Structure 1
Amino acid sequence: MATITRRLSQPVGKKGTRKDPGGYRSAQEWFAKSRRLHLLQDRLARQRADRQAGRVRVVRGGKQLARARHNLAQAQLAEPERPQRWEAGRWFLAADGESGKRFGNETIRITPDGQVSIKMPAPLAQHANAPHGRYVLAARVRFAHRGTEWADRIEANRAVAYRIHLDTARGRWYITASWQRPAFPAIPMAAALAHGVIGVDTNADHLAAWRLDAHGNPIGNPRRFAYDLSGSADHRDAQVRHALTQLLHWARTCGVNAIAIEDLDFRAEKTREKHGRRKRFRKLISDMPTSKLRARLTSMADQTGIAIIAADAAYTSKWGAQHWQKPLTTTKRTTTRHDAAAVAIGRRAQGHPIRRRTAPPPAPPERWTGASDRSGRTGRPRA
């Protein structure tokens, strides 16, 4: 709304700058944007009124299930299955953990041997089948993934959150355990960069990485970790997690203790008001999962002891291609702009300039030796 208001106040056809967009191109576009501004103001007024009244218009899984209801053939659902999924989206029980309580959770308690008991509320206390108003489930549970870490936490009475939900496709109930990992202390920059760094360039479909030594020189060949961001949210999240896992494994294999990545944030840069009709560019930056990659990489790197360095992304692609793409291209290796940008990001994180060291100037005439120079002249050093 602030951007549209500012552009409406400028004359039609006025050119903008790199940081501030100008006016709209035509009177027709100006009129359409003025109508859009009124619509946005009305939406904002309704949201503020709902917030003041304490009204929440959110339904868990409502949008996805509503689309499946109107497209049963594409969703491969029959009419009896749709209500089951709709109800199962609300059939869940969740409880946060509490440190110091027995097995880390007072509401949903799971013993080391897999026994699940639920603390019944006061209106349902008559349904308890165990002492102290608890209901013990007949089934036993086990955690195949990180089960040892979960067992260590509950043995120490540390907080563990649980969520019980129904999977209608399989017809089974599942319980999910989650906990918060302690924050690792930040290591000094000199210690993190002692064995070099891996520069990473973020793109819409892959991560371009290159290893640099302690002096900022590229080592070996570049690596590319691809991911596919099409499909469901779970599929996209799995693709990002798989690419980051490969990156971290490669870093551990190389013995590098730091990964340098661009500090990108396109939340305020991918709007139509910022880039106008550049649809391809807006789609490009919208497809790049910058915030998800940064959050995932930070959380996953904490467990491997690898430091993450956020480098300034200004001109890394441009200067990397200008100074590093051609020198790093050989007859057996083709260096792309993204690979050269990874080198630029790594050098910037190390504190080195992106520009390569230039060749020294030719020796002055008073430094000539007996050898001939390019013009064929010979000389001797003067006294």
Structure 2
Amino acid sequence: KTMMIPGRRQGKYSNCLFKYQLEEGVLIYRCSSENREIRLKVRFHANAKKLERAVKLPHNTPGKAVAYLLEDHKKYFIIKAVVEMEDRELMENKQDGVIGIDINVDHIAVSETDRCGNCVLLKTVPMPLRGKKKNQRKHQIRQTVKEVVLECVRSHKPLVMEALDFEKKKSDMRYGNQRHNQMLSEFATKQIQEAIERRCWKEGYGVIQVNPAYTSQIGREKYSRKMGCTVHLAASFVIARRGMGYQN
């Protein structure tokens, strides 16, 4: 149902099988077995200018390669262009504090620390995914992540999150009960992490990953009652402090 055609930096059109004609808005597939070209009228929406920039770059230049992902939806095709990310310096200075997050099934808990590791902000960003369709979940994840990363932009501080173990989550889904499996599936943890990394990169902020061990337990026992907040908010504070090098 899907096929990825890798990009390449060599050549004029950034791809070995597809030629993207910018002026005409046509993607041409070169079918060598039949010795003919198939012309596809396309319009790229998000980040179209980055695609155009890549295609226009000189031969064998970093950022030149463009891959195309084709998705067969029976009645129609969706074509996605995948461009190389530019090399850029990300803000990763923890001297003035960080933004810590704890990802949960229906929300992301956010905390901010100052240069001494003290809490200066606690915030819950809703992320209602339960019962939504695939595209609706993707949209909701993007909106939630956008609001979270705005805290990095506002405070000019990098983001700290847990280093998530996706193999363990797969194992949990394999042996857990049906309701728990559905929750994990709708949770879409990997999608959320990738969305966070993309958004942070776009805004110019680094993502620092820390050991996830016992963050909720420490938050519950040491900070939740003391700070008058939920366990998830306390866990985000533990994650933030861990990212700054404190032993909680």
Q: Normalised by the size of structure 1, how large is the TM-score?
A: 0.54
Aligned with 2:65 (options 135, 159, 163): 159
Aligned counterparts, 1:13-52, within 5 A: none
**Aligned-pair CA distance for 1:340:** 1.1
Q: Counterparts of 1:262 and 1:284 in 2: how far apart (Å)?
A: 19
More strand by share: 2
**Aligned-pair CA distance for 1:94:** 5.7
1:244 aligns with 2:145: yes
**Aligned-pair CA distance for 1:153:** 0.6
**Which runs of 5 or more structure 2 residues have no equivalent in the other structure?**
59-63
Aligned counterparts, 1:56-135, within 5 A: 60=1, 95-113=5-23, 114-122=25-33, 124-125=34-35, 128=36, 134=37
1:38 maps to none
Aligned with 2:112 (options 197, 207, 211): 211
Q: Kindly provide the amino acid, as one letter, of the partner of residue 15 in structure 2.
A: N
**Aligned-pair CA distance for 1:288:** 4.3
1:146 maps to 47
2:61 maps to none
Q: Kindly provide the amino acid, as one letter, of the partner of residue 67 in structure 2.
A: A
Q: Counterparts of 1:236 and 1:98 in 2: how far apart (Å)?
A: 32
C-alpha spacing 1:159/1:215, structure 2 compared with 1 (3 Å) = same
Q: Counterparts of 1:307 and 1:219 in 2: how far apart (Å)?
A: 20
Q: Is the 8 A contact 2:50 2:83 kept in 1?
A: no
C-alpha spacing 1:229/1:240, structure 2 compared with 1 (3 Å) = farther
Q: Counterparts of 1:156 and 1:281 in 2: how far apart (Å)?
A: 48
Structural RMSD (CA): 3.2
Once the two structures are superposed, residues 151-209 of structure 1 have per-residue CA deviations (whole angstroms, 9 ceiling, x without a partner) of 1110015221235566666xx6654322232465677xxx5202311111121111100
1:267 aligns with 2:167: yes
Q: Counterparts of 2:16 and 2:173 in 1: how far apart (Å)?
A: 46
Q: Counterparts of 1:150 and 1:279 in 2: how far apart (Å)?
A: 42
Aligned with 2:244 (options 326, 331, 350): 350
1:337 maps to 231
> Percent identity at matched positions?
21
- Report which stretch shifted further, 192-201 or 234-243: 234-243
C-alpha spacing 1:223/1:254, structure 2 compared with 1 (3 Å) = farther
Once the two structures are superposed, residues 234-264 of structure 1 have per-residue CA deviations (whole angstroms, 9 ceiling, x without a partner) of 33333222221221122212221x1111223
Q: Is the 8 A contact 1:193 1:350 kept in 2?
A: yes
Once the two structures are superposed, residues 20-57 of structure 1 have per-residue CA deviations (whole angstroms, 9 ceiling, x without a partner) of xxxxxxxxxxxxxxxxxxxxxxxxxxxxxxxxxxxxxx
Aligned with 1:305 (options 204, 211, 216): 204
Once the two structures are superposed, residues 67-92 of structure 1 have per-residue CA deviations (whole angstroms, 9 ceiling, x without a partner) of xxxxxxxxxxxxxxxxxxxxxxxxx8
1:179 maps to 83
**Which runs of 5 or more structure 1 residues have no equivalent in the other structure?**
1-59, 61-91, 129-133, 330-334, 355-383
**Aligned-pair CA distance for 1:350:** 0.8
Q: Is the 8 A contact 1:97 1:159 kept in 2?
A: yes
Q: Counterparts of 1:108 and 1:148 in 2: how far apart (Å)?
A: 18
